[in-house]
Amino acid sequence: MKLLGKKIAIMLDQQYQEIEVWHPYYRLKEEGATVDFVAPKAGATYLSKLGYPCVSTVAAADVSGGDYDAVVVPGGWCPDFMRRDESMIGFIRQCVQADIVLAAICHGGWMLCCTDALRNKRATSFIAIRHDMINAGAIWEDAECVVDGKLITARKPDDLPAFVKALINALS
């Protein structure tokens, strides 16, 4: 159990990509981590793109980035909804300020574009948002998983094994 005592936030909103939430969730739990689903509202049910439910643990306004060792930002269409919520933007900015591990996959990089986390950092994302990442200061690479210090990014669900392995390694 490499992550015993570690606390990790998975950001959540409607239209999340199922496997980009549940694969990291179960792998992190298997390694002993405590995992919270951080969303606009606590105790609310958020549906994935295919309608799979996930109940949030805490509201973004009620926690701080410094409460966690890492944050995972999944893709799907949820980052588009998260970017509309000031409490979610505030939470990800606090995570950056707290200098915790930032892990974003697919469209999850959109949330990092709301911060200065990408400035002069190597990163990847789903190809459709690469220009947003570049405009936010990223040195964008088309690679399975890119690790630059405490920033971990991946392109798509097929990259989850490398993405989650890098996240576990960064925390252990």
pLDDT-based confidence at residue 74 (cuts at 50, 70, 90): very high
pLDDT tens column, 15-61:
999 999 999 999 999 999 999 999 999 999 999 999 999 999 999 99
* 57-86: average pLDDT: 98
Other C-beta atoms within 10 Å of 108: how many?
29
Active-site choice (78, 95, 106, 113): 106
User: In this structure, are residues 126 and 79 in contact, taking their beta carbons and an 8 Å threshold?
Assistant: no
The residues, any chain, with a CB within 8 Å of residue 142's CB and separated by 6 or more, are 124, 127, 155
Q: Is residue 107 annotated as a catalytic residue, yes or no?
A: yes
Name residue, tokens 């939430």.
Answer: 21
- Please report the pLDDT score of residue 120 as a whole number: 98
- Please report the pLDDT score of residue 11 as a whole number: 99
Could you give the maximum distance between any two Cα atoms of the chain, in Å? 39
pLDDT tens column, 132-163:
999 999 999 999 999 999 999 999 999 999 99
Domain boundaries, the chain: 7-171
Q: Is residue 78 annotated as a catalytic residue, yes or no?
A: no
pLDDT tens column, 93-116:
999 999 999 999 999 999 999 999
Residues 167 and 105: their CA atoms lie apart, in Å, by 11
Residues 55 and 42: their CA atoms lie apart, in Å, by 8
Domain 7-171 has CATH 3.40.50.300: no
* 65-88: average pLDDT: 98
Half-sphere exposure of 155 (CA within 13 A, CB side): 11
- Please report the pLDDT score of residue 52 as a whole number: 97
Active-site choice (107, 113, 114, 145): 107
- Please report the pLDDT score of residue 97 as a whole number: 98
